Amino acid sequence: MKKILITGANGQLGSELKVLAEKYPEYEWIYTDREELDLCNLTKLETELDDINPQIIINCAAHTAVDRAESELELSDILNHKCVEILAKWSAANGCQFIHVSTDYVFDGTSAIALTEEAAVNPINVYGKTKLAGENACLENNPDAIVIRTSWVYSSYGANFVKTMSRLMQERDALSIVNDQIGSPTYAADLAQAIMVILTSSNWKPGIYNFSNEGEISWYEFALAIQEIGGFKCGISGIPSSAYPTPATRPAYSLLDKSKIKNVYEVAVPYYKDSLKKCMQLLNNVT
């Protein structure tokens, strides 16, 4: 029985993989978060991997607080880059399949067309820079690894835009949402499913793949969809990024082209509103 190690198991993607694991009893699942496997302790990481001895690693762990990363450069570099290098080296040396999750923030946002895996990278914030360093370390140290870039992740688990908006729309009469950052959201359950399609395929093709839901929208349009599905009465207006300054600059355009993952693995990519409805139905059941 192959052993799958999930890092960052309490995050959005890790939590969705836990749910999905019930459909894959042929694997032994090992879930770790910082308590079980401290990725910041670089000196002990190799030994701990030896002890677990997985045949597959799915690295969902990251320093994803984009604004905090600007002032937490060292922590961001350890979690998004240096530990990835060790995971990649260990998996290469031990014949272990390695899937590493990355981000659309490796791009600078100047494109006007959906970004393929070959598009030029040029991150404009610390989070993006450390994630790009992690991608490079991953593929340099384990050329047989798979990197999946994703964007605007949300889930019924953890903290995210969908849950925050759903709450604020019930608490406030009006909200202003940035309308000049364009991309597509990703329901973490869909990404988890895509990962399992890759793992259960007999066709392991290393390299970088993009995955997000279908649709080209702004955060403002995303908020409108949340409002519509939730039936919230809150007024929503669009504002430029300049009216909502943040420590980290975000790319203005980071829509991912999903052609490669569809062609190589026949991964189904749902439309963003269909997945958003599923997630919000789960949230309504919870609340």
H helix intervals, 3-69: 12-21, 42-52, 66-69
pLDDT above 80 (res 287): no
Provide the domain count of the chain.
1
Query: Is 248 part of any domain?
Result: no
pLDDT digits (tens, 9 = 90+) for 153-187: 999 999 999 999 999 999 999 999 999 999 999 99
Query: Is 230 part of any domain?
Result: no
Could you give the percent of the chain with pLDDT greater than 90? 99
Query: Is 224 part of any domain?
Result: no
Q: Which helix (H) or strand (E) holds 285?
A: helix 272-286
Query: Is 143 part of any domain?
Result: yes
Concatenate the DSSP letters of all residues of 215-276 into one string: --EEHHHHHHHHHHHHT---EEEEE-GGGS--SSPPPSB-PBP-HHHHHHH-----BHHHHH
Q: Taking the CA atoms of 228, 233, 234 and 235 in sequence, report the sign of the dihedral they define.
A: positive
6, 27 in Cβ contact below 8 A? no
pLDDT of residue 284: 86
Q: Which CATH number covers residue 100? A: 3.40.50.720
Write down the pTM of the prediction: 0.96
pLDDT digits (tens, 9 = 90+) for 48-64: 999 999 999 999 999 99
Query: Is 238 part of any domain?
Result: no
pLDDT of residue 202: 92
| Per annotation, catalytic residue among 31, 105, 127, 209 | 127
Query: Is 179 part of any domain?
Result: no
For the residues 224-243, what does the mean pLDDT come to?
A: 96
Check if 271 is active-site: no
pLDDT above 90 (res 46): yes
88: left (phi over 0), alpha (psi -120 to 50) or beta: alpha
Distances in Å between the alpha carbon of 88 and those of 63, 148, 223, 273? 18, 14, 37, 35
Closest Cα partner for 149 from 162, 137, 133, 131? 131
Q: Which residues is 240 bridged to in the sheet?
A: none
Residue-range definition of the domain harbouring residue 143:
3-159+184-214+254-270
Could you give the percent of the chain with pLDDT greater than 70? 99
Distances in Å between the alpha carbon of 238 and those of 61, 221, 255? 32, 9, 19
H helix intervals, 65-115: 66-69, 73-77, 83-93
For the residues 233-257, what does the mean pLDDT come to?
A: 96
Query: Is 8 part of any domain?
Result: yes
Q: Please, what is the average pLDDT of the chain?
A: 97
Helices 42-52 and 83-93, packing angle to 10 deg? 30
Q: Which residues is 214 bridged to in the sheet?
A: 271
For the residues 129-147, what does the mean pLDDT come to?
A: 98
Q: Which residues is 153 bridged to in the sheet?
A: 186
Confidence grade of residue 134 (pLDDT, cut at 50, 70, 90)? very high
pLDDT digits (tens, 9 = 90+) for 180-221: 999 999 999 999 999 999 999 999 999 999 999 999 999 999
With tokens 């984009």, the residue in question is 66
Q: Which helix (H) or strand (E) holds 146?
A: strand 146-150
Closest Cα partner for 276 from 218, 216, 213? 213
Closest Cα partner for 275 from 186, 180, 194? 186
pLDDT of residue 285: 64
Query: Is 166 part of any domain?
Result: no
